[in-house]
């Protein structure tokens, strides 16, 4: 009983980080994933992780609440960065929807329960299937377990937050995600912009044509045709996107770990 009581504080801290990670990380945080499954998965991964974590003895005193908040924040930040890059496909889909004309009709995304553009939801589902096919969910589990190499239990995360490097990294990650969304949607957006230019020229040359009636089906057909042609490139695009996502998570761990990151990389 004494051994259990001594191990309980560290076990709870590990559980808080892992549970917070699964609350925000893509795929696992989906609304159609049962909450008991998330809690049970977090518990069993905590059991696996506890034997590999060396953070010294943790006392359950008045500072323990602050330690819980610290570990929960680490898990939330890691999951948020992963989810930020995962939503790139929805942002790219919304750009394409605005050009094709699908932005007038949004559907409910079953993963998040929020309105989502049609093409964005389609690409999000394709991205989720490819993520599972690439064993991305296993990589996420390995990542949260390996985070204790970079950010152990005796970390100084609040000091890193005070320096402002983490907030700067999050702003850069947001701009990077927005840029990736523009790159993914650029071929279709530019092609449909050229269609708009052609329709504008046609409206000037032949005013008797009702450009609104003619333009909507033309843009719809061109957009769907281009999307069909680009589907074959989805695996390569999503593989690069997932590589960028995991690289961003690693960079975040380096920032949160501070001096511990150099020790881990040297090991």
pLDDT at 185: 85
Q: Which residues have a Cβ under 8 Å from the Cβ of 190 and sit 6 or more positions away?
A: none
- Which pTM value belongs to this model? 0.80
pLDDT at 267: 39
In the predicted model, is pLDDT for residue 77 greater than 60? yes
| 167-181 pLDDT per residue, tens | 888 889 988 888 888
In the predicted model, is pLDDT for residue 66 greater than 80? yes
CA–centroid distance for 64 within its chain: 30
Structure tokens at 97: 């929807």
- Other C-beta atoms closer than 10 Å to the C-beta of 257 total 24
Overall average pLDDT of the 230-246 stretch: 87
Domain coordinates in residue numbering, the chain: 2-266
Work out the pLDDT band at 81, boundaries 50, 70, 90: very high
Please tell me which residue, 96 or 212, carries the higher pLDDT value.
96
Please tell me which residue, 99 or 240, carries the higher pLDDT value.
240
Q: How far is CA 145 from CA 42, 75, 88, 117, 224, in A?
A: 11, 11, 25, 34, 42
In the predicted model, is pLDDT for residue 86 greater than 80? yes
Work out the pLDDT band at 114, boundaries 50, 70, 90: low
Work out the pLDDT band at 265, boundaries 50, 70, 90: very low
In the predicted model, is pLDDT for residue 95 greater than 60? yes
Q: How far is CA 195 from CA 189, 199, 213, 222, in A?
A: 10, 6, 14, 8
| 120-144 pLDDT per residue, tens | 777 888 888 888 898 888 999 998 9
Say if residues 122 and 230 touch (Cβ distance below 8 Å): no
- Other C-beta atoms closer than 10 Å to the C-beta of 64 total 14
């Amino acid at each position: 009983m004494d051994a259990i009581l001594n191990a309980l504080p560290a076990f709870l801290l590990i559980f808080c980080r892992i549970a917070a990670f699964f609350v925000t990380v893509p795929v696992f945080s989906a609304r159609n994933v049962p909450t008991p499954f998330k809690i049970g998965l977090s518990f069993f991964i905590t059991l696996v992780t506890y034997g590999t974590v060396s953070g010294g003895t943790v006392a359950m005193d008045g500072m323990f609440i602050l330690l819980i908040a610290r570990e929960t924040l680490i898990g939330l930040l890691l999951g948020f960065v992963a989810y930020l890059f995962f939503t790139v496909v929805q942002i790219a889909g919304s750009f394409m929807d605005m050009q094709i004309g699908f932005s007038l009709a949004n559907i409910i995304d079953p993963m998040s329960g929020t309105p989502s553009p049609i093409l964005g939801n389609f690409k999000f589902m394709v991205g989720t299937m490819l993520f599972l096919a690439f064993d991305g969910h296993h990589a996420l589990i390995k990542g949260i377990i390996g985070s204790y190499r970079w950010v152990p239990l005796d970390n100084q995360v609040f000091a890193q937050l005070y320096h402002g490097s983490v907030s700067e990294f999050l702003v850069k990650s947001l701009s990077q995600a927005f840029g990736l969304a523009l790159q993914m949607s650029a071929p279709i957006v530019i092609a449909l912009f050229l269609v708009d230019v052609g329709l504008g020229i046609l409206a000037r040359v032949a005013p008797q044509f009702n450009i609104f009636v003619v333009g909507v089906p033309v843009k719809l057909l061109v957009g769907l045709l281009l999307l069909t042609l680009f589907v074959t490139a989805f695996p390569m695009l999503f593989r690069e996107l997932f590589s960028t996502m995991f690289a961003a998570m690693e960079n975040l761990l380096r920032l949160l770990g501070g001096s511990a990151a150099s020790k881990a990389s040297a090991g």
